[in-house]
Structure 1
Amino acid sequence: MEWVLLVIAGLCSGIIGALVGLGGGVILVPVIVYLGSVGLLDGITPQTVVGLSVIMMIFTGLSSTIAYMKKKTVDFKSGWIFFAGSAPGTILGAFVNRGLDLPSFQLYFGIMMVFLSLLLLIRKHLKPVHWFVKNGRKTTFEDGTGTYVYGYPIWFALLLTFGIGFSSGLFGIGGGSMLVPAMLLLFLFPPHVAVGTSMFMVFLSALVNSVTHISLGNVPWLYTIPVIPAAYIGAKIGAYLNHRLNSDSLVIVLQIVLLLLGVRSILDGIM
C-alpha cells in the first residue's frame, strides 16, 4: 500500500512540477511528511524527506529538460548562470537542514508554502519590472506568438538564485517555485522559456543538492524505487501538457493546495 501511495505522490509531483516549472518538491515534501506522521511510512524525518525530494528532482528535472529541449524553450546560458548562484546556496541549506527537528521543519516549511501560495496568487497582478532588462544581459527569443526581449544583471541573478538555492537545500522544494515568478516579473522571460529554463536549473541544482544529502546519509533509498520512475513519467506528461494547456486553472488549484498544506504544516509544527 505504501508503494502505491509513493507512486501516486511521485506521479503528481512530476506532472505539476514540470507543467508550471516548480520542480515537484512542493507537492512531494508535504505528502511524505503527512504519510510519515500518520504511520504509513517509517523513518520519516526532515532530513530523509528532503533527501528523497532532491533525488526525485534529478529525474523530474532531467525528464522535463529533455522535453523542453525538443521544443527549444531552454535558455542554457541563463540556466548555467542561475545554477552558479544556486549551487552554493543548496549546499548551505542542506547543512542547515541537519539542525531541524520535525516540528521546526513543519513550521518553517508551512510558512514557506503559504508564502509561495501568496506569490502565485499575486504574480498576475504585479507589473513587470523593466529595469533589470535595461541594465543587464539581454536575450531575444522568437516563436509563433512574437519576439521577446528579456534579460537581467548577472550579479543580481547570482544573489537571487543563491537565496533560492538555500531554500531548495533546506526544504527540498526545487527552487522553481520562486525562480519562475522572478523570471517572468523581473527578467521578462517568455512563459515557456521561463518554465523550461527553470527545470534545467532544477536538474543541475538537484545534482549538487543530492550529493550533499547523500553524503549526510539523508536519502531513504528504498522509497526512491517507486518515486523516481513515477516522477520521471509524470514530468514527461507535465512538459507535454505545458504546450497544450492554459496552466492558469492549475495554478489556481495549486495556490489553494499550497495554502491549505502550509496552514496545516504550521499548525502541526506549533502543536
Structure 2
Amino acid sequence: MMHMPMSGVEMAWWPLILIGFTVGVVGGYFGLGGAWLVTPALNLFGFPMVYAVGTDMAHVAGKSVVSTFRHWRFGHVSVIIALTMLIGTMSGVEVGAQTLMFLNSIGLAGPVVRYIYMVLLFCMFFFMLREYLNAKKMEKVTGKEVKDLVGNRLSKWIQNNLDVWPVIYCKTARIRISVWALIFLGIFTGFVAGILGIGGGLLRVPALIYLVGVPTKVAVGTDLFEVMFSGAYGGFTYGAKGMVELVAATLMLCGAAVGAQFGTICTKYVYGLTIRLVYACACFFAFTSVVLKQVASNYSKIYEKGMLEVLQAEGITGNQAKIMLQYPEQMHKYMLEVANRPDWWQAFQTYHTVNTVGCAVILTAACGICAYILYLLVIGIMKERREKRNMEQQMQSGA
C-alpha cells in the first residue's frame, strides 16, 4: 500500500497504473481526458471528491499531449477551432473550480458533482445510441454504409444564422463559424470542466459534433489538443489550492502515456459512427457507477456526521477523519466498541457493499471497452496489411 501525502489515502500502486492505461486507451480513442472514469474511480477508491477532481486535472494534460501528436499526424486536429475555444475555456475552468471550492466548503461537492455527471452521461448515452440506431436504419433503407454523420439541423442553423463577425473558416473540418459561438462554447464547457475536474471533452466532443458540425474524428483530435492547455491550467489551479495528489497523478500518467498510443492509432481504422457507439456504451456504464455511488452516499449520511464527532473526540480531525470513514476495520472498532452504534455499522456495511459494486462496474466496463478498442486496433492493422499485400500482388501480376 502507498500513502498519498496530500489526501491521506492509503492505496496500492497497481490500480492507479491500470486506471491510467485504461484511460489512455479509451481517452485516445474518444478524444476525452478520461475524467468520466478517473474522477469517479478515485472517489470510489476513497479519495475525497475535491482531491479526485484536482488529481485527475493534473494527469489529464500530460496524457493528452501523447494522444494529440498521434491525431495530428492523422489530420484530425483543427488548431483554429481549438485555440478560439480556449479563450473561453480558461475563464470557464477558473469559475468552475471556484464554484467547486465553495460547494466543498458547505459539504455539497460530492452530491453536486455526481448529479451533474449522471445527467451528462445519461444524455450522451441516449443521444449517441439513438443516432447510431437511426444510422443503421438509414443503411437498410439506402443500402449504403454510413461511415459518419457530419452536421445536423442545429449545427447548420448556427453556422448560417449566428455568423456574427469575425467569422473563421476551418479547412480541416470544412466549416465556417463565428468566433463568438466558439468562445461561448469554450466558456460553458470550461465551466463544466472546472466543476467536474475534466478536460471538458465529456461535453466538448458532443458539442463540436452536434453544435459546431465537425466530423467525429476531427472533434476527437481537436478536443485533445485543447485539453493539453485547459487540463494544464486546471491542474495548476487545483495544485495552487493544494488539491492535487501528485503521487497518484504521476502513476496514472505512466500508464496513460502507453495506453494513449493504442487508443489514438485505433481511430485510424474505425468509422466515426463506431466511435460514437462505443462512446455511448462507455457513458452508460459510467452513469451506472455514479448512480451506485450516489445510492451509497445516502447510507453514509446515517452515520457520517455522528462518526466525525466521535473521531473528533478521539483527537482525529480533518481529512484524516474523512479518510478513516472509508475503511471497514477502523469503522468496526469505532462504531461498535467506541460509539456502541450497531445501526451505524449496518448502514456502513450497506454503504461499503454498494460502493464496492460501483467500483467493480466502472473498472470492469472500462477494462472491457479498453479490450474492445484494442481488438478493433488489431483487426484494423491486419486488414491494412492484407490490403497492402493484395495490392503488391496485383502490381506484380500486372508487371
TM-score over 0.5 (shorter chain): yes
CA distance in 2 between partners of 1:108 and 1:238 (Å): 31
C-alpha deviation, 1:51, in angstroms: 1.5
Which of 137, 161, 166 aligns to 2:186? It is: 161
Conservation of the 8 A alpha-carbon contact between 2:92 and 2:187: yes
Displacement of 1:114: 2.0
Hey, what's the Cα distance between the residues in 2 that align with 1:195 and 1:114?
Answer: 22
CA contact 1:97–1:170 (8 Å) conserved in 2: yes
Structure 1: 5+ residue stretches without partners: 37-43, 143-147
| Counterpart residue type for residue 253 of structure 1 | C
Instruction: Specify the alignment match of 1:149 in structure 2.
Output: 174
Note the alpha carbon deviations across 1:213-235, whole angstroms, 9 max, x for none: 11111111121231111112222
Question: Which stretch of structure 1 is more off in the superposition, 93-102 or 250-259?
Answer: 93-102
Q: Whole-Å Cα distance in 2 between the matches of residues 268 and 169 of structure 1?
A: 25
Do the aligned partners of residues 140 and 159 (structure 1) sit closer, same or farther apart at CA in structure 2, a change above 3 Å counting? Answer: closer
How many angstroms apart in 2 are the aligned matches of 1:164 and 1:174? 9
Distance (Å, rounded) in 1 between the aligned partners of 2:208 and 2:237: 27
| CA spacing shift, 1:217–1:140, aligned 2, 3 Å | closer
* Alignment of structure 1 residues 175-190 onto 2, 5 Å: 175-190=200-215
The amino acid of 2:26's aligned partner reads: I
- Percent identity of paired positions between Structure 1 and Structure 2: 21
- Tell me, yes or no, if structure 1 residue 58 matches structure 2 residue 61: yes
1:112 aligns with 2:138: no
**Which residue does the alignment assign to 2:158?**
132
Q: One-letter code of the match for 1:131?
A: W
Residue equivalent to 1:5 = 15
Distance 2:278 2:127 in 1: 15
The DSSP-based 3-state class of the residue aligned with 1:180 is helix
Residue 258 of structure 1: aligned partner = 286
Letter in 2 for 1:107: P
Q: CA deviation at 1:119?
A: 2.7
Partners of 2:213 and 2:282 lie apart in 1 by 23
What CA RMSD, in Å, does the superposition of the two structures yield over aligned residues? 2.1
Pick from 31, 37, 47 the counterpart of residue 21 of structure 1.
31
Select which of 245, 249, 259 maps to 1:234. Answer: 259
C-alpha displacement at 1:175, in angstroms?
A: 0.6
The answer to whether the 8 A contact 2:63-2:256 is kept is yes
For structure 2, the residue ranges without an aligned partner over 5 or more in a row are: 2-11, 132-151, 300-399
Task: Give deviations 1:208-262, integer Å, cap 9, x for gaps.
Answer: 1111111111111121231111112222221111222332442232022122022
Q: Which has the higher contact order (CA 8 A, sep 6+)?
A: 1
What secondary structure sits across from 2:76 in the alignment?
coil
* Number of matched pairs: 259
SS at 1:247's partner residue? Answer: helix
Work out whether residues 59 and 253 of structure 2, in 8 Å CA contact, stay in contact via their aligned partners in 1: yes
| Mapped partners of 1:125, 1:253: distance in 2 | 12
Larger radius of gyration: 2
Q: CA deviation at 1:141?
A: 4.3
Instruction: Give TM-score scaled by structure 2 length.
Output: 0.61
The answer to which of 2-11 and 250-259 deviates more is 250-259
117-126 or 63-72: bigger deviation:
117-126
- TM-score using structure 1 length: 0.88
